[in-house]
Chains A and B, each alone.
Chain A
């Protein structure tokens, strides 16, 4: 069974938000929910400073702290390493949101439109609302699932497909010949905050 993971090359990422938008379009997440996000960081002191974009998403950790705190078994780790939420088992306690040090989980009380209240929903919005309620739902924890439905069709996650700089590489980390594991090995891939001990499956190639 493959162990899926992702490599993000920060030397290539220029913070265009294409991944964020691709995730929104694919998963129809409502306002305030960003399964794929982009953080901006700074280094150095004026006048010698640098800014860097950091795309973040669910790290699909090997030892997920969200799994440890879930009281109902709604958070599950699949055989392929992807961490998912079974919305039918989630009681919405938000303990997993507090447990994730990467801030990858969200919960919305009710679906809201991107447009001002009172305006009729467009056909697209009706579709998006149904899609969200069917796949994720309100009042329960939601998160990135590496676009599991696309992976099952041998396609790439939406954020990987959309990246114009080819900064993202998705693949089987257990396969030493896969592009993802080769990049991690040859370019010294690092994970975010390894001291937390979650063993994330999303690796980063350090910026310059």
Chain B
């Protein structure tokens, strides 16, 4: 089968859905890191507080974006009435429960005496982590359920999105920590988080390479891989600037800036985290826009889906320019 004679790219899920997938990942990732850090006590207090403040609002904004992207937003509640029937219906409840747990965790953490509510916070953190991971995985499972796009139908996509969610969650938390800088203890937390982030970035790199390799081996998704490898947003935006540069800067923060002042560390961390965040969004956008329908085969013929022309507006009836 000639991979060049392949399907039309999907046009129905674009930037807003990519943003929703990104916010689902970053919200779940930031919350997971915050909840894990909350078990480490006061030494990671700022990262815990910042992560908790990111989780719930990110998911809330992401969900509002998803609803806004619906063709018929007033009917969105119907998605929750048939749980278990589809991934969107399951996702409705996964995200809703995550938002409830993360909101309660945030409120109790911020507005109650931590010593008196330690037990309930532990329960909430465990439930929150489970549903945060499910939320990030759901964003990949949503794509994986799309039988019409072979590129997305890979079990690696949810795993990749979970890893990417943890990476971007780290980065957004670091940006929040720059904003709410609390002195020397923040720098110590930065060094810990820089090490964590660089490890997860390496795992993400392995996951994306594995994903692309597996997709390339499938004839129906090969065109998508060829297209994504030619996309500037993917190669430059995600691979080089969104993954490579933050990785390098995180290593610099961890290992070479030992004698630097907090200002320099904050600046490097901010730049690295910002590029990493943009990279996380571009990863999802590139995967979405490179999704192609499978080739149709009959009697030895391969049938190409004709891509939609950019401007379908007919010119008949228009007066020539004066």
Q: Is the CB of A91 within 8 A of B314?
A: no
Given contacts A43-B301, A93-B70, A207-B299, contact A72 B79 (CB under 8 A): yes
When distances are taken between beta carbons in the complex, the residues of chain B under 8 Å from A32 are: 308, 312
Q: Which residue of B lies closest to A207 (CB)?
A: B299
A40 to B316, CA, bound (A): 27
Q: Which of A99-107, A146-154, A166-174, A178-186 contacts B (4 or more CB under 8 A)?
A: A99-107
A93 to B91, CA, bound (A): 13
Q: Is the CB of B70 within 8 A of A116?
A: no
Q: Which of A97, A192, A204 contacts B148 (CB 8 A)?
A: A97
Q: Is B211 an interface residue (CB 8 A)?
A: no
- The 3 tightest CB contacts between A and B, nearest first, are A92-B71, A139-B71, A41-B301
Q: Is the CB of B85 within 8 A of A73?
A: yes
Q: Is A206 an interface residue (CB 8 A)?
A: yes
Q: Is A140 an interface residue (CB 8 A)?
A: yes
Chain B, interface SS category: loop
Q: Is the CB of B81 within 8 A of A99?
A: no
Q: Which of A71, A98, A99, A139 contacts B72 (CB 8 A)?
A: A139
A132 to B8, CA, bound (A): 26
Q: Which of A62-70, A123-131, A155-163 contacts B (4 or more CB under 8 A)?
A: A62-70
A97 to B72, CA, bound (A): 15
Q: Which of B85, B315, B318 contacts A71 (CB 8 A)?
A: B85
Q: Is B39 an interface residue (CB 8 A)?
A: no
Q: Is the CB of B317 within 8 A of A206?
A: no
Given contacts A56-B296, A101-B147, A103-B148, contact A39 B81 (CB under 8 A): no
Q: Is the CB of A65 within 8 A of B147?
A: yes
Given contacts A32-B308, A101-B293, contact A71 B71 (CB under 8 A): no
Within 8 A of B (CB), among A63-94: 65, 68-73, 89-94
* Interface residue count on the A side (C-beta < 8 Å): 52
When distances are taken between beta carbons in the complex, the residues of chain A under 8 Å from B75 are: 72, 89-92
When distances are taken between beta carbons in the complex, the residues of chain B under 8 Å from A91 are: 70-73, 75-76, 78-79
Q: Is the CB of B302 within 8 A of A41?
A: yes
A12 to B85, CA, bound (A): 41
When distances are taken between beta carbons in the complex, the residues of chain A under 8 Å from B317 are: 115-116, 119
Q: Mark B76-91, 1 if CB is under 8 A from A, else 0.
A: 1011011001111100
A-B contact count (CB 8 A): 163
When distances are taken between beta carbons in the complex, the residues of chain B under 8 Å from A39 are: 296, 303-306
Q: Is B55 an interface residue (CB 8 A)?
A: no
Q: Is the CB of A98 within 8 A of B298?
A: no
19 A-B contact pairs sorted by A residue (CB < 8 Å): A39-B303, A56-B296, A69-B145, A71-B82, A72-B82, A89-B75, A90-B72, A91-B78, A97-B10, A98-B149, A100-B147, A102-B296, A116-B316, A116-B318, A119-B317, A138-B71, A196-B147, A196-B294, A207-B298
A99 to B291, CA, bound (A): 12
Given contacts A10-B299, A101-B294, A193-B296, contact A95 B304 (CB under 8 A): no
Interface residues of B (CB under 8 A from A): 5, 7-8, 10, 12-13, 70-73, 75-76, 78-79, 81-82, 85-89, 92, 142-143, 145-149, 152, 291, 293-294, 296-306, 308, 312-318
Interface residues of A (CB under 8 A from B): 10, 31-32, 39-43, 50, 52, 54, 56, 65, 68-73, 89-95, 97-103, 107, 109, 114-117, 119, 138-141, 190, 192-193, 196, 198, 204, 206-207
Q: Which residue of A lies closest to B75 (CB)?
A: A91
Q: Which residue of A lies closest to B293 (CB)?
A: A103
When distances are taken between beta carbons in the complex, the residues of chain A under 8 Å from B306 are: 39
Q: Is the CB of A99 within 8 A of B71?
A: no
Given contacts A10-B299, A91-B78, A204-B298, contact A98 B10 (CB under 8 A): yes
When distances are taken between beta carbons in the complex, the residues of chain A under 8 Å from B79 are: 71-72, 91, 93
CB distance from A180 to the nearest CB of B (A): 18
Given contacts A90-B72, A91-B72, A91-B78, contact A71 B88 (CB under 8 A): yes
When distances are taken between beta carbons in the complex, the residues of chain A under 8 Å from B85 are: 70-71, 73
CB distance from A188 to the nearest CB of B (A): 11
